Amino acid sequence: MPLFEQASTRSKAGHLNTAIAELSRTEAPEVLAPVLQALLAREESRRVVDKQDVPVSVAATRALLSLPHPHPLEVTPEHLEALREHDRVVPRFSSKVMGSVPPLFT
């Protein structure tokens, strides 16, 4: 079964995004980078999102950027722009994720 048929739900996309993040910390960059590039080449990676509205392509872009040189240089301008746009629209620590947090100083 193709990867994106398996990751058709938000829950499965969340598992995929978690796996991408974990692999970026544990897998050899020279092994992981081509896999992430192949994932980013798939149009489906932009449409499949997890429960926090993070597309698989954004998780893969973040992972590539976290790898040592020269792998971050392989990120296309389009994927960088999509990451910037996503982070602008859906901040990583938004009230949606954090809940209502009272101000520290009044």
What is the full per-residue pLDDT of the chain (106 aa) written as tens digits? Answer: 455 554 457 888 899 999 999 999 999 999 999 999 999 999 888 888 998 889 999 999 999 999 999 999 999 999 999 999 998 887 665 444 434 444 444 4
Asked if 63 and 32 touch (Cβ cutoff 8 Å), the reply is yes
Single out the residue of 100, 96, 40 nearest to residue 65, CA to CA: 40
Q: Give the pLDDT of residue 51.
A: 87
User: E strands along the chain, which residues?
Assistant: none
Question: Residue 2: its pLDDT value, please?
Answer: 56
Model confidence, pTM: 0.75
Within 13 Å of residue 59, how many CA atoms lie on the same side as its CB? 27
- In three-state secondary structure terms, 42 is coil
| Residue ranges per structural domain of the chain | 3-92
